[in-house]
Amino acid sequence: MKYPPEPFKIKVVERIERTTDEERRKIIREAGYNVFNIAADKIYIDLLTDSGTSAMSDNQWAGMMHGDESYAGSRNYYHFESAIKDIYGFDHVIPTHQGRVAENLLFSTICNDESVIPNNTHFDTTRANVEYNGALALDLVVDEGRDPSIIAPFKGNMDIKKLQNTLDKYGADRIPLCMITITNNSGGGQPVSMQNLRETKELLQQYDIPLYLDACRFAENAYFIKEREDGYADKSIKEIAQEMFSYADGATMSAKKDGLVNMGGFITMNDGDLAEQITNRLILIEGFPTYGGMAGRDLEAIARGLQEVLNEDYLAYRISQVRSLGEMMDEAGVPYLKPTGGHALYLNAKSFLPHIPQSQFPGQVITCALYTSAGIRAVEIGSLMFAHEDPETGETVYPDLELVRLAIPRRVYTNMQMQYVAESIIEIYKRREELRGLKIVKEAPVLRHFTARLTPVES
Ligand code: F0G
């Protein structure tokens, strides 16, 4: 067998209902051709996100029953803290109810109007939290990370030259910290190499600038290092993760990804003064420092999830499930962002539908076709999400990439269901010339993709 089969057996199942073609055509029309407006009960395979959608293990569910809901000093906090310190190795651990709160606490504490925050690529919530606090968010990923057709092992790497230029241009005083997102979600879930982490740290150290990791998918990143980087094949995932964090001064984390839970997050760091300031804010907006917006049982589920995610059998299955979806695309010539990353397949909508201009949302057209023909929910990451008006010229600026992300929840769908997904995409690809563009009939002034309503253009 080319890839490992599922390293688990199923103890509890959740029924999913099938809908008919006719029902789905009506549903998508009523939803204004926007899959965010569809009730989840009407979805067969939901690949909207891998965040908060993991299946927990029997061990995690058993841990939930050990939840100690004391306001202060819950035993589960100590389990949570020790699991994090064991892997991440920082002195302070502050729980938050999800990743963006960790970002909010960090950036609202360290940023001012002059600040500049470099990252390989900021995830949307990270960028929003940086910008909301008046700072400039810069994306400095290596050039190959911006080209969907180049096959390279570490397309998530920070471009060290661009980082050096940023330091020269703005000066170290304006850069309170530098971030690296592992894996690089907005760049296709691509990994960052150990060497790149080491080199970034070496450069920053000369200027006394701390390095923080946006660590949502740290275990998937560690698996890629084991697989692709010289010298790591015989190291355990935990050792690799520990080394990754050894080059950093702190991390923000959405445990909804590699924490294998449905809700939770944290921020962890060495700087005691910063930890104290953040803790004071935490009490104001999240909760007491030993629960930070979560129940005791949630802390226990994270403590156990973080240990489970380091399991190599699990990661081998996880990464190969995503990879095999890419290989099925290759066999049919379907264009996608290469190579497949850790958590998702990103279809390249510009090449998939060259006859539909960006002004008619080719990514959204594919997203709607996937729902209508197969009950699959993906998400457009293209013009609907990012096109905007240039404030000076008034012209519409379109993003370079027009993608459709199919994010794979952890331990949720079987490989047979993935095959169904692949066949459904291929079926649409074969009849792609029949597909027509969409136009917006209603949109909100910000983050329009969540609520916009569209309609097919007349042909
Ligand atoms: N950083 C990265 C790299 C992320 O992918 C996300 C969430 C966050 C931070 C924020 O974490 O949702 O717990 O507040 N990504 C989800 C996604 C929403 O679908 O990719 P959160």
- What is the tens place of the pLDDT at every residue in 122-176? 998 999 999 999 999 999 999 999 998 899 999 999 999 999 999 999 999 999 9
Task: Report how far ligand 1's centroid is from the alpha carbon of 427 (Å).
Answer: 31
In this structure, the residue with its CA closest to atom 8 of ligand 1 is 99
Q: Ligand 1 — pocket residues by CB below 6 A?
A: 49, 51, 98-100, 123, 125-126, 181, 185, 214, 216, 254, 256, 265
Token digits for 1? 């067998």
Q: What is the pLDDT of residues 73-120, one digit of tens each?
A: 999 999 999 999 999 999 999 999 999 999 999 999 999 999 999 999
Tell me if the domain spanning 58-308 has CATH number 3.40.50.2300: no
- Say if residues 100 and 133 touch (Cβ distance below 8 Å): no
pLDDT in tens, 231-263: 999 999 999 999 999 999 999 999 999 999 999
Per-residue pLDDT at 204 exceeds 70 = yes
Ligand 1 atom with least separation from CA of 379: 19
Atom of ligand 1 nearest to the CA of 103: 9
Q: Nearest C-alpha to atom 19 of ligand 1 is from which residue?
A: 49
What integer pLDDT is reported at residue 391 of this predicted model? 83
Ligand 1 atom 9 nearest Cα: 99
**Distance between CA atoms of residues 44 and 23, nearest Å:** 13
Residue 140 CA to residue 13 CA, distance in Å, equals 43
Q: How far is CA 83 from CA 62, 102, 240, 245, 459, in A?
A: 17, 18, 16, 14, 58
For residue 69, give Cα distances in angstroms to 64, 111, 256, 332. 11, 34, 21, 53
Question: 99 C-alpha to center of ligand 1: Å?
Answer: 6
* Minimal-distance CA residue to ligand 1 atom 2: 123
Give the pLDDT of residue 390: 86
Give pLDDT tens digits for 309-331.
999 999 999 999 999 999 999 99
Cα–ligand 1 centroid distance for 181 (angstroms): 11
Using the mean position of ligand 1's atoms as its centre, give its distance from the Cα of residue 126 in Å: 8
CATH class of 21-50+312-456: alpha beta
Ligand 1 atom closest to Cα of 217?
Answer: 3
161 CB neighbour count, 10 Å cutoff: 10
Give the Cα separation of 334 and 416 in Å (integer): 19
Confidence of residue 386 (pLDDT cuts 50, 70, 90): confident
Sign of the CA dihedral with 136 first, then 217, 318, and 51 last:
negative
Query: What CA–CA distance (Å, rounded) separates 180 from 217?
Result: 12
pLDDT digits (tens, 9 = 90+) for 427-448: 999 999 999 999 999 998 878 9
Is residue 64 predicted with pLDDT exceeding 80?
yes
3-state SS, residue 25: helix
The residue whose CB lies within 8 Å of the most ligand 1 atoms, and thus the one to mutate among 101, 121, 179, 254, is 254
Task: Identify the bridge partners of residue 309 per DSSP, sorted by sequence position.
Answer: none
DSSP string spanning 304-342? HHHHHTT-HHHHHHHHHHHHHHHHHHHHHT--B-SS--S
Q: How far is the CA of 125 from the centre of ligand 1 (A)?
A: 7
| d(C-alpha 18, C-alpha 373), whole Å | 12
CA distance 365 to 33: 8
CA of 329 to the centre of ligand 1 (A): 26
Q: Check pLDDT > 90 for residue 219.
A: yes
For the four alpha carbons of 78, 79, 83 and 84, in that order, the dihedral sign comes to negative
List, for residues 371-384, the tens digit of each pLDDT value: 999 999 999 999 99
Contacts of 394 (CB under 8 A, 6+ apart): none
Average pLDDT of every residue of the chain: 96
Contacts of 181 (CB under 8 A, 6+ apart): 119, 120, 121, 122, 123, 126, 156, 192, 213, 214, 216
How many angstroms separate the CA atoms of 190 and 146, rounded? 11
Q: What is the pLDDT of residue 247?
A: 98
Q: What is the pLDDT of residues 272-310, one digit of tens each?
A: 999 999 999 999 999 999 999 999 999 999 999 999 999
Judge whether 7 and 317 are in contact, CB under 8 Å: yes
Question: How many A from CA of 51 to the centre of ligand 1?
Answer: 7
Q: How sure is the predictor about 459, in pLDDT bands with cuts at 50, 70 and 90?
A: low
Residue 407: both structure tokens together: 């994010």
CA distance 146 to 366: 21
Domain ranges of the chain: 21-50+312-456, 58-308
